[in-house]
Structure 1
Amino acid sequence: MNYKVYVNGESAGIYTTNVFPMPYNEVQVMEYTSFQMNQPVDIRIESEAFLNNVMIRPLSLGLEFTYKDHEIVIHLEEPKKFSVEINGSYYNNLLVFAEAQQYEDFDKYAENVIYFSRGVHTVDILTVNRDNTVVYLEEGAFLNGKIDLDHCNHVTICGYGTISMEKYPLEVRNIYHRCVDAMNCREVCIKDITITDSNDWSLRIFGCEEVIIDNVKIFGCRGNSDGIDICGSRNVLVQNVFTRVWDDSLVVKAFNTGNLENVTFRSSILWNDFARPMEVGVELRAEKVRNVRFENIDIIHSPTGYPLMGIHHGDRAEISDIHFENIRIENAPGAQLFDIRIRDSFWNRDKEKGNIKDIFFKNIDYIGNPGTDLLLSRSRLQGLSEESGIRNITFENIKILGKTAASEKDCGLLVMDYVDNVVLLSEECTQKINLIDTRIEIPEEFVQDDNGFYKGRVRVELENTGKEDQSAVFWLQISPAHVGEYKREAEAFLLKAGDSRSFDYDISLPPGKYVIAVQSDNANVSYAWKFLQLDWVLREGAEVNKAPELEFINYYNIRTRGLKAAVHKEELILQSDILKDGNNSLVLYTALPVDRREEEVIFSVEETDFGVVPAVISGKHSLELAPQLRCPLEITLVFKNEPKVKEIKKTLIPGGGNGTVAIPLTELGLEPGIRHFWMEVEARTQDVTEYRYPYTMFHSVTPETSAHMFANVVINTDDAIR
Structure 2
Amino acid sequence: MKNHRKTIIISIIIVLLLLIAGGTVMLNQHQTLLQSGRKGNGEITTYPFAKGMREFKEMKVYVQDSKQTQALQLYSVNTNPKRNYPTDDSLLKKAAVATFDMKGKITVAVVYPKAVKSVQVRPATADVKTKIKGKTVFFTLKKWGQYSVEMNGDSITKDLLIFANPPQEKIPASAKVIKGRVDGPLNIAQGQTVYLAAGSVIDGPVTMASDSKLLGRGILTQGGPPAINVPNADHVTIDGINIFDPNDWVVQLYNSTHVAIHNLKIISCRDNSDGITIQSSQDVTIDHSFIRSWDDSIVLKNYTNTNTQNIKVTNSLIWTDLAQSMEIGFETNKGNPLTSMKLSNVLFENIDVLHAFHKAPISIHNADNCSISNVTFKNIILEDAQMGVSGTHGEGGGWPYLIDFDNGNSEEMGGDASWTNNDGNRSIENVLVEGVWVLAGEKSSCGLRLLNEDSGGKSQMKNIQLKNIYFKKQALNFTSMINEANLAGHVSDKNSPYFSPFK
TM over 0.5: yes
Structure 2 residue aligned with 1:424: 493
Work out which of the residue numbers 243, 248, 252 in structure 1 matches 2:300. Answer: 252
Structure 1 residue aligned with 2:453: 384
Structure 2 residue aligned with 1:127: 187
Work out which of the residue numbers 393, 403, 420 in structure 1 matches 2:474. Answer: 403
Q: Check conservation: 1:382, 1:415, Cα contact below 8 A.
A: no
CA–CA separation in structure 2 for the residues paired with 1:348 and 1:23: 23
CA–CA separation in structure 1 for the residues paired with 2:446 and 2:384: 14
Structure 2 residue aligned with 1:93: 159
Within-5 A mapping of 1:241-390:
241-285=289-333, 287-304=341-358, 306-334=359-387, 335-345=400-410, 346-369=418-441, 372=442, 375-376=444-445, 378-385=447-454, 386-390=457-461
CA–CA separation in structure 1 for the residues paired with 2:405 and 2:489: 13
CA–CA separation in structure 1 for the residues paired with 2:72 and 2:264: 20
Distance 1:199 1:414, change over 3 A: farther
CA shift at 1:52, angstroms?
1.0
Q: Which amino acid in structure 2 is aligned with residue 159 of structure 1?
A: G
Larger relative contact order (CA 8 Å, sep ≥ 6): 2
Structure 2 residue aligned with 1:10: 70
SS in 2 for 1:307: coil
Deviation string, structure 1 residues 663-707 (Cα, Å, up to 9, x no partner): xxxxxxxxxxxxxxxxxxxxxxxxxxxxxxxxxxxxxxxxxxxxx
Matched, 1:35 2:113: no
Q: Check conservation: 2:245, 2:268, Cα contact below 8 A.
A: yes
Q: Which amino acid in structure 1 is aligned with residue 433 of structure 2?
A: F
Gaps of 5+ in 2: 1-56, 334-339, 388-399, 411-417
CA shift at 1:401, angstroms?
1.4
CA–CA separation in structure 2 for the residues paired with 1:239 and 1:419: 35
SS in 1 for 2:331: strand
Q: Check conservation: 2:83, 2:322, Cα contact below 8 A.
A: no
Structure 1 residue aligned with 2:392: none
Distance 1:132 1:296, change over 3 A: same
Structure 1 residue aligned with 2:390: none
CA shift at 1:156, angstroms?
0.7
Q: Check conservation: 2:244, 2:267, Cα contact below 8 A.
A: yes
Structure 2 residue aligned with 1:61: 126
- Range with greater deviation from structure 2 (20-29 or 327-336): 20-29
Q: Spell out structure 1 runs of 4+ moving beyond 3 A.
A: 412-415, 417-420
CA–CA separation in structure 2 for the residues paired with 1:33 and 1:244: 15
Q: Which amino acid in structure 1 is aligned with residue 163 of structure 2?
A: F
Work out which of the residue numbers 124, 132, 144 in structure 2 matches 1:79. Answer: 144
Q: Which has the larger radius of gyration?
A: 1
Matched, 1:162 2:219: yes
The number of equivalent residue pairs is: 406
Q: Check conservation: 2:210, 2:235, Cα contact below 8 A.
A: yes
SS in 2 for 1:318: strand
Within-5 A mapping of 1:178-577:
178-285=226-333, 287-304=341-358, 306-334=359-387, 335-345=400-410, 346-369=418-441, 372=442, 375-376=444-445, 378-385=447-454, 386-405=457-476, 408-409=479-480, 415-416=484-485, 420-427=489-496, 429-430=497-498
Distance 1:352 1:99, change over 3 A: same
Normalised by the size of structure 2, how large is the TM-score?
0.77
Q: Check conservation: 1:383, 1:417, Cα contact below 8 A.
A: no
CA–CA separation in structure 1 for the residues paired with 2:81 and 2:374: 34
Q: Check conservation: 2:266, 2:290, Cα contact below 8 A.
A: yes
CA–CA separation in structure 1 for the residues paired with 2:114 and 2:374: 48
CA–CA separation in structure 2 for the residues paired with 1:284 and 1:159: 34
CA–CA separation in structure 2 for the residues paired with 1:292 and 1:190: 20
Structure 1 residue aligned with 2:196: 137
CA shift at 1:351, angstroms?
3.3
CA–CA separation in structure 2 for the residues paired with 1:395 and 1:201: 31
Q: Check conservation: 1:399, 1:405, Cα contact below 8 A.
A: yes
CA shift at 1:419, angstroms?
7.4
Gaps of 5+ in 1: 167-175, 432-722
Normalised by the size of structure 1, how large is the TM-score?
0.54
Deviation string, structure 1 residues 629-681 (Cα, Å, up to 9, x no partner): xxxxxxxxxxxxxxxxxxxxxxxxxxxxxxxxxxxxxxxxxxxxxxxxxxxxx
Q: Which amino acid in structure 1 is aligned with residue 228 of structure 2?
A: V
Q: Which amino acid in structure 2 is aligned with residue 138 of structure 1?
A: A
Deviation string, structure 1 residues 172-208 (Cα, Å, up to 9, x no partner): xxxx411001011111111111112222210011111
- Range with greater deviation from structure 2 (273-282 or 384-393): 384-393
CA shift at 1:420, angstroms?
4.6
Distance 1:264 1:6, change over 3 A: same
CA–CA separation in structure 1 for the residues paired with 2:145 and 2:213: 23
SS in 2 for 1:295: strand
CA shift at 1:415, angstroms?
4.4
Q: Check conservation: 1:325, 1:364, Cα contact below 8 A.
A: yes
CA shift at 1:355, angstroms?
1.3
CA–CA separation in structure 1 for the residues paired with 2:371 and 2:284: 19
Distance 1:194 1:257, change over 3 A: farther
Q: Check conservation: 1:384, 1:418, Cα contact below 8 A.
A: no
Q: Which amino acid in structure 2 is aligned with residue 131 of structure 1?
A: Q
SS in 1 for 2:261: strand
Distance 1:19 1:303, change over 3 A: same
CA–CA separation in structure 2 for the residues paired with 1:281 and 1:407: 23
Structure 1 residue aligned with 2:177: 115
CA shift at 1:65, angstroms?
2.0
More helix by share: 2
SS in 1 for 2:125: helix
Distance 1:227 1:159, change over 3 A: same
CA shift at 1:257, angstroms?
4.3
